[in-house]
Amino acid sequence: MWRPFWIPCVFVLVFLTTTAAQSAQDQALSEESATPAPLDVAEVVQGREAGASQQADSRQGVMRAVELARDIAVIVASLVAILGVSAWKREFKGKRDMELAENVLESFYRAERAIEAIRFPIWNLADGQARSPEPDETPEEKKARDRAYIVIKRIKEHSDIFNQLYTLRFRFMARFGRHRAKPFDEMKRVVDTIMVCTRRLAEFWAEQLRDGERTHPSIKEEIKEYERIISYAGAKDPTESRVSGIIAEIEGICRPVIEGGDSRFLRLWRKAFARKETVQS
């Protein structure tokens, strides 16, 4: 962040210029009073006339220099004040942008961890049994819906994290532009996709439990596809790759804003530390 360190120096320069001009004026006046008087009357008259003329010219020159110095000082001081206010506004805006970028990036990191918790592959069947069943549910439907409710319950438990993230979306758009809101929309689509797939699986699981081996192959393929979305699917997990891409995109937007508010020494230190970690790895 640029900071106007040169402003105090300009004020000192203006002060020294004004002081020097005033000293010159005082010296000219002291020389006028210290001029020795000639002994001869004619010489005294001529000397007084010549001295008065020289002193008048000297005083006028000094006064013009003083006035010029004061005018310059006023102009410089006005420019410094204008630049100082502009610098303060830029610094204040930069600080607000940095704080918003930090909050947004932190919220995305929290949302990433929340999605990992929602998609954790080990399920507690007791969580599903906490669901209130429908009066006309068949045993197959109850078992399938209880299983799906485990994921739905996890989403509800982390809803505050997602709501906080979505709330920051509009402030982020106001500060950085509407076109920068894509990561927010993509993260919301990930959560919505998990919810929709879970509800679809509740129907497919019930059908699979009811039909057994007679389940249509297309239903089996859809079950596998949806299960890969709602639960961790290994090294080539499509949902995890999608979330990682969202995090990388929002980091590319927020990280320069955050690091732009740091001092130059801190930025150099971070680069050196990152380079050291790269070499060690």
Give CA–CA dist 69/36, Å, rounded: 31
Q: Which of 7-11, 17-21, 90-94, 190-194 has the highest mean pLDDT?
A: 190-194
User: Would you say residue 82 has pLDDT above 90?
Assistant: no
Task: Give the residue-averaged pLDDT of 224-238.
Answer: 89
Instruction: Write out pLDDT tens, residues 122-165.
Output: 888 888 888 888 888 899 999 999 999 999 999 999 999 999 99
Going by C-beta distance under 8 Å and a sequence separation of 6 or more, which residues neighbour residue 157? none
Task: Give the residue-averaged pLDDT of 20-49.
Answer: 56
- SS3 assignment, position 137: coil
225 vs 53, more confident: 225
For residue 167, the one-letter residue type is T
pLDDT score at 250? 96
pLDDT-derived band at 15 (thresholds 50, 70, 90) equals low
Name the residue ranges covered by the structural domains of the chain.
6-90, 94-280
Query: 0.85 cut: is pTM over it?
Result: no
pLDDT score at 125? 81
Mean pLDDT check: name the lowest of 78-92, 223-237, 244-258. Answer: 78-92
Residue 207: both structure tokens together: 């059908």
Phi, psi of 137 (to 5 degrees): -75, 140
Instruction: Write out pLDDT tens, residues 85-112.
Output: 444 344 444 688 999 999 999 999 999 9
Task: Give the residue-averaged pLDDT of 241-263.
Answer: 88
**In terms of DSSP H, where are the helices of the chain?**
6-33, 41-118, 125-129, 139-157, 159-176, 182-211, 217-230, 238-260, 264-280
